[in-house]
Structure 1
């Protein structure tokens, strides 16, 4: 097997485990907090929000720092730093004795994160360019699927093994995946050449990256997309109960509804990535944004959980073309010496969407209801498609014209 395919296979497992480990805690987080001694329902809600968001707050702040170091010292060493670090933190989460331990460790977990942007950068720079869309699409399917399927797996394991055991299982799996990365993944990276590049601050590096035409628009598309996709997920149990009344196994059905799009994403993200290689990532991104937006509309009018499952499975097909296309466009328009930072900033905007989406939706649902949230998400995604098409494709079209002119002059 070609080396880039081996790298891709190992890093797919790593990204899936990393994202599923971060989201696996969702179904039982409030129950674990109660087990740690918080008994007042209002306090449990406050602590659950703080503990869940803590990971994304520090990830948003620190990922660009790790991206800068990744461009300077190599992507594989950042993978090992993040993977082994998060494995240890997950094991410690299972040993928490009070809710403050839980909060501090979740903050630490976000601080040492950075596995996914480093994996994206390694795959992007060590894969033939004509295969980069397929490779990044495949890798992204691991990340998206992990974040969506994680809550479903977490709910099942919590019933079988208890809350603490899940953290031990997650930590052990991350340890095994990172060890496999250390032993198998190979990277072509010239450390001495990288050290000759100017050593600029994170903020200066951000200004340099957004100076590339189309990059600010891609970051905005990432943020808005994640905002729309995550906004309705915490309210799924309430929505199912609204349709069916109190039902047995409510947590199971809520986890299944939240996860079903991850299964279709696994299948179609690599296919859409390959289509991006053939027909252009800009076209795949535009179509995926439109179709994802339209797929929110029927969710507002379903009458039972089975209809909701079908629609969300179909939505997962279109989600598979979003982030792989964005990553492929970033790869195309940012030089290799800055690619880790470019992916890290994109991951920061994704973390920001994860952080803000559920909070905004919780407030908006008071006025428009859960069904109204689906319609608002549809409008947001369709506006994202219109604006993104003009901003990204227009800018990239100018870049292609400039490149062609430069080629003719040479």
Structure 2
């Protein structure tokens, strides 16, 4: 097997383990705050859950460009290992938290040292032939996204069986395993001597140099808007499932299942859409995926059962598979050689900002609109993003196939 394919499949598996571990706490975070940490008011729980979930992305937003700069200087594999092993330690420490602010502080620390996914994306993009970039980005993203969505399923299942705290120890073990696999199997031809001889510029100067490329600020903005819209309702989905389910029996399992079903369809569709983007263009896939995701979000506000919610979450995942991978592919296409890590670092900051602001705004607005209103607002935001992306990226009208 070609080296770029070996790296791709190993990092796809590593991304799955990392994201599964990182998201295992989602289905029971609000329930954990309610049952173990003594919070009782539903709005207060929503606010704490939103801030704790977003805390990781606050510091990640600040530090990702720095890790991107160091990655261009010292190598992407080193950033993989730094992030993976560091996060495994922090995650275990979360199992000893006794107050909401303990989780908040540790999630912030986790954001400081995070960066496995951006480093994996940069390493794959630097070693993959450009005519296979869509397939590679889709395959890599399918592993990460499937882990991010299947993580809640495993977390809910394990929480019902073992309780909440052991999940943090299991998560730390998964992160350690992913880092070890990457250490042993991923190979990178990186000349540190040549990199050290290159003129070093500040993070701010690197940002200015990249932002003069017309497509890049547009793509970073789209990344932010996608994550903001997708993550706004996420922390409150367990309470929504509780409302639809009508009983506390197997509640954590159903909450995890609702989150994980999106990962199943995402895992299937991301590589397929990646291959298709190599044939007809990443821009077209991005536009169609944005519109489709918007259409699938809005009906989730009007469902009357967990089964109906599952159907729309599954269909949402089909279109999610064409979002971030196509953005990553377009970023690589428009980024000068030698600046890939910085470019993906800034994109990771945009993603983190969306991950941070989405849950915070979702928790704050839930008291006024409810989670049903959040689904409608998120869908409307993706429709606006779709229209703007079509104009800003100058996507040509799709022509019918013969």
TM-score, length-normalised on structure 1? 0.89
Structure 1, unaligned runs of 5 or more: 396-410
Q: Distance in 2 between matches of 1:241 and 1:35?
A: 14
Q: Which moved more, 1:380-389 or 1:298-307?
A: 298-307
- CA-CA distance at 1:88 after TM superposition: 1.8
Question: Could you tell me how far apart the structure 1 residues matched to 2:69 and 2:318 are?
Answer: 33
Measure, in 1, the Cα distance between the counterparts of 2:314 and 2:275.
21
Residue matched to 2:106: 105
Pair 235,130 (structure 1): closer, same or farther in 2 beyond 3 Å: same
| CA distance in 2 between partners of 1:191 and 1:393 (Å) | 39
The normalised TM-score by structure 2 is 0.91
Deviates more, 1:113-122 or 1:15-24: 15-24
| In 2, Cα distance between equivalents of 1:322 and 1:45 | 27
- Asked whether the 8 Å contact 2:24–2:154 carries over to 1, the reply is yes
1:100 and 1:235 mapped to 2: Cα distance? 19
Aligned mates of 1:244, 1:164 — CA distance in 2:
25
- Contact 1:71 1:341 (8 Å CA) reproduced: yes
Task: Note closer, same or farther for the CA distance 1:280–1:148 as it changes in structure 2 (3 Å cut).
Answer: same
1:47-66 equivalent positions in 2, closer than 5 A: 47-66=48-67
Once the two structures are TM-superposed, the CA of residue 102 in structure 1 deviates from its matched residue by 3.5
Find the residue that maps to 1:39 and give its secondary structure.
coil
Measured after TM superposition, the shift of residue 331 of structure 1 is 0.5
- Measured after TM superposition, the shift of residue 238 of structure 1 is 3.5
Q: Distance in 1 between matches of 2:283 and 2:18?
A: 28
Change (3 A) 1:40 1:253: closer
Match of 2:147 in 1: 146
In the TM superposition, what whole-angstrom CA distance separates every residue of 1:374-410 from its partner, at most 9, and x where no partner exists?
2222221111011011112369xxxxxxxxxxxxxxx
State the partner residue of 1:406.
Answer: none
How has the CA–CA distance of structure 1 residues 354 and 390 changed in structure 2, closer, same or farther, with 3 Å as cutoff?
same
Question: RMSD across aligned C-alpha pairs, in angstroms?
Answer: 2.3
* Cα separation, 2, equivalents of 1:382 and 1:15: 29
User: 1:252 Cα shift?
Assistant: 2.2
Query: Which runs of structure 2 are paired with 1:232-381 in the superposition (5 Å)?
Result: 232-246=233-247, 248-381=249-382
Task: Please name the residue that 2:27 is paired with.
Answer: 27
Corresponding residue for residue 7 of structure 2: 7
Separation in structure 1 between the aligned mates of residue 255 and residue 55 of structure 2, nearest angstrom? 23
Instruction: Give the superposition deviation at 1:45.
Output: 6.1
Asked whether 1:132 is paired with 2:136, we answer no
> C-alpha distance in 1, partners of 2:238/2:98?
29
2:38 corresponding residue in structure 1 = 39
Task: Please give the alpha-carbon distance, in whole angstroms, between the structure 2 residues aligned to 1:271 and 1:359.
Answer: 33
SS in 2 for 1:41: coil
How much does 1:373 deviate? Answer: 2.6
- Comparing 40-49 with 321-330, which one deviates more in the overlay? 40-49
Q: 1:237 to 1:26 in 2, by over 3 A?
A: closer
Q: What secondary structure does 2:339 align onto?
A: helix
- Aligned partner of 1:85 in structure 2 is 86
Q: Is the 8 A contact 2:277 2:284 kept in 1?
A: yes
Higher relative contact order (CA 8 A, sep 6+): 2
Question: Is the 8 Å Cα contact of residues 194 and 337 (structure 1) preserved in structure 2?
Answer: no
Q: Secondary structure at the match of 2:394?
A: helix
CA deviation map 1:333-367 (0-9, x unaligned) = 00231111111111111111111112222333444
Q: Distance in 1 between matches of 2:160 and 2:251?
A: 13
Separation in 1 of the partners of 2:332 and 2:308?
38
Q: Quick one: structure 1 residues 289 and 12, their matched pair in 2 at CA, closer, same or farther if it must change by over 3 Å?
A: same
Q: What's the offset of the Cα at 1:321? A: 0.3
- Worse overlay, 154-163 or 256-265: 154-163
Q: 1:11 to 1:244 in 2, by over 3 A?
A: closer
Alignment match, 2:399: none
Paired residues of 1:136 and 1:324 also in contact (CA < 8 A): yes
Consecutive unaligned residues in structure 2, runs of 5 or more: 397-402
Q: Secondary structure at the match of 1:335?
A: coil
SS of the residue 1:84 aligns to: helix
Moved more, 263-272 or 334-343: 334-343
